[in-house]
A and B are shown apart, each in its own frame.
Chain A
Amino acid sequence: MARDLNFRVPFVTGKKTEAVVLPQASDLEHHYAEITELAWRTLRRLGVDKEHVPDAVQDTLLVVHRRQADYRGESSLTSWVYGIVLRVASGYRRKERRAGAVFGRVQSESLEEAASPEPTPLDRLEQSAATRLLHSLLDTLAQDVREVFVLVELEELQVAEAARVLGISSSTCKGRLRLGREQFNAAVARHRARVAHAEARTLLLAEDTGGRR
């Protein structure tokens, strides 16, 4: 889907596509659109508040631009950009936590969003609802586990590459991934149980109301 459109050769990594040529730093100029999409998506999935995402994307682009001379081609360009995105996301989460502590804001954005349905077109409604649900389930993961989970399961990096991006060993990365999968499976199961419970309750209420009438 969107991934295949976004990750064009040579700006390519992941399981489904092959990295053909690593672009040089001077070629980066042609990839800013793809970097923007990658940063936007990943920042959201790493828990940066929706209203802060444009600013965080700008910060990412500026860091990429400023440090492009440092890119030596030792890792793929995607990994290098992911590393920058992760650090930017970490900074924004810190800021948001501080702001939350000061203003007493509760991180219940996904619930508020779910309560106020946006006027999205019908074909995007399911995707939008699924995205909100995904974010709310990702919020239940610990941050270090979430980073591994997002990079491997959602961004489809190899475990070794994700470990390189995060600066951790492969075994640590695998351990966090296992934990992430367990927790995510459990969160999905809980959600499924809640939905089933709500549906059953609605059904019972409807039957009860019908019986009284």
Chain B
Amino acid sequence: MIDLDDDALALIRAARGGDDPTLAERDHALAVFDAERARQAASQALTEQSASERQAARSWSAGGRPGHSRRRLALGWSIAAFVSLASVGAFADWQQVLGHVRALGEWSSRLFTQSAQEPLAEARLRPRVGDVGPEHEPDTAIAEPELDPQPELPSLTFPRATAQPAQSAQAVQSAQAVQSAQAVASVEGPSRVEKGPSSRVPAPQASSSIAADDSQLGQELELIGRARDALTRGDYAVARTLTRLHAQNYSRGHYVEERRAIEALAACRQGEGSELGRAFVARWPSSLFTPRVQSDCGLSNSFPERR
């Protein structure tokens, strides 16, 4: 193997270190890198958050309208029955034929929906992420009669019934009609119910607001969790970016104390002074995070006396 000449070796020796970055160049490169990492982590957190929201919306649309397949099945049964009856020629009167077909359809639909009725009702009542907004009202309109053991009779597609005793027979008839309408509505889904003039039952405000609050709490918790993870693995820039993001979106959220603790710890561990730590201890003197903040920020380890 050929070796390098003495001149070549001397040149390489003389040039050694000449390509190394200066300390300023290296530190600048590392600072830019840290900032880029923090930006990427924050954007990834946001992307995952929106992806989970989209997933929740997809699962609602996939599982929220289960009546479609059953309705198609019931229709299939009706058509099959109609064809067989017509081919036998047992009925000359078409009205009678149609009545029987309708009865068969109702019977078959009841048969197929009966087993799925309860889990369906449960699923509709369960609060879901993204279960807020006008597009969900048909669903709540169906769920509402199941919630109420004595449904308000005039609220559906049938003529308004009065509560006068003299018209009790009419009321009973209406009640029966409402029950059958409910059965049809539960099979046919929202489109049938929406046709009525006053079919829209106002969405239960309490469950919507609970669902919204639950969703926000989950997102907030996820953000704080990511910030805490970043702090644990030493990505202080990422942790601080995420806490800034939390401060922007949930300035009065449920995890302000945790956010301030993470901010303080990240700042202290980055060597940027103990101002945030001191502010945290002053604001939350008996917090669970206070001892950690005190030790990491080099503050005096004196607990306030509990009264």
A residues touching B (Cβ–Cβ < 8 Å)?
1-3, 6, 26, 29, 32-33, 36-37, 40-42, 44-45, 54, 57-58, 61-62, 65, 126-128, 130-131, 133-134, 137, 153-154, 174, 177-178, 181-182, 184-185, 188-189, 192
A137 to B20, CA, bound (A): 18
A127–B233 Cα gap in the complex (Å)?
A: 40
- The listed residue (A29, A40, A134) touching B11 by CB distance below 8 A is A134
* CB-based contact A36/B17 at 8 Å: no
Using a CB–CB cutoff of 8 Å, the interface residues on chain B facing chain A are: 1-5, 7-8, 11-12, 14-21, 25-26, 28-30, 32-33, 36-37, 233-235
| A130-B21 contact given A32-B33, A40-B26, A58-B33, CB 8 Å threshold | no
Known contacts A32-B33, A36-B21: A181-B11 contact under CB 8 Å: no
- The answer to whether A130 and B18 touch across the interface, beta carbons within 8 angstroms, is yes
Inter-subunit contact B26/A130 (CB<8 Å): no
Question: When the two chains form the complex, which single residue of B8, B14, B21, B25 contacts A126, counting CB atoms closer than 8 Å?
Answer: B14
Nearest chain B CB to A105 CB, angstrom units? 22
Q: Are A36 and B30 in contact (CB under 8 A)?
A: yes
Point out the residues of chain B lying under 8 angstroms from A188, CB to CB.
5, 7-8, 11
Contacts of A41 in B (CB 8 A): 19-21
Instruction: Answer whether A134 and B7 are a contact pair too, CB < 8 Å, given A58-B32, A62-B36.
Output: no
Instruction: Please list 22 pairs of residues, one from A and one from B, whose beta carbons are closer than 8 Å in the complex, sorted by A's number.
Output: A36-B30, A40-B25, A40-B29, A41-B20, A54-B28, A57-B29, A58-B32, A58-B36, A61-B33, A65-B37, A126-B14, A127-B14, A128-B18, A134-B15, A137-B11, A154-B12, A177-B1, A184-B4, A185-B4, A188-B5, A188-B11, A192-B7
B residues within 8 A CB of A126? 14
Asked if B15 contacts A33 (CB within 8 A), the reply is no
Residue with the greatest number of chain A CB neighbours at <10 A, chosen from B11, B17, B18, B28: B18
**CB-based contact A131/B19 at 8 Å:** yes
Closest chain B residue to A32, Cβ basis: B30
Residues of B within 8 A of A127 (CB): 14-18
**List of B residues within 8 angstroms of A32 by Cβ:** 30, 33
- Across the interface, do B8 and A44 meet the contact criterion of CB distance under 8 Å? no
Given contacts A32-B30, A61-B29, contact A130 B14 (CB under 8 A): yes
Neighbour of A185 across the interface among B2, B21, B28, CB < 8 A: B2
CA distance A134 to B8 in the complex (A): 9
Write the nearest CB–CB distance from B9 to chain A, whole angstroms.
9
When the two chains form the complex, which single residue of A40, A62, A65 contacts B21, counting CB atoms closer than 8 Å? A40
Smallest beta-carbon distance A117→chain B, Å: 15
A37:B18 contact, CB within 8 angstroms:
no
Residues A185 and B29 in contact in the complex (CB < 8 Å), given A130-B14, A134-B15:
no
- A184–B25 Cα gap in the complex (Å)? 30
Is the pair B26, A37 in contact by a Cβ cutoff of 8 Å?
Answer: yes
Smallest CB gap from A30: residue in B: B234
Instruction: Report B3 CB to chain A, min CB distance, Å.
Output: 7
Complex interface: chain B residues within 8 A of A178 (CB) = 1-2
* Known interface pairs A40-B20, A40-B26, A188-B8; 11 further A-B residue pairs with C-beta atoms within 8 A, sorted by A's residue number: A3-B16, A29-B234, A29-B235, A36-B33, A37-B26, A45-B19, A54-B29, A127-B17, A127-B18, A181-B4, A192-B7
Q: B12 contacts A58, CB within 8 Å? A: no
A36-B30, A181-B2 given; A6·B12 CB < 8 A: no
Q: Which 3 interchain pairs have the tightest Cβ spacing? A: A131-B18, A130-B14, A2-B17
Enumerate chain B residues within 8 angstroms of A3, measured Cβ to Cβ: 16-17
Q: Name the A residues within 8 Å of B2 (CB-CB).
A: 178, 181-182, 185
Given contacts A57-B29, A153-B4, A192-B7, contact A134 B12 (CB under 8 A): yes
* Shortest beta-carbon distance from A121 to chain B in Å: 12
Nearest chain-B residue to A3 (Cβ)?
Answer: B16
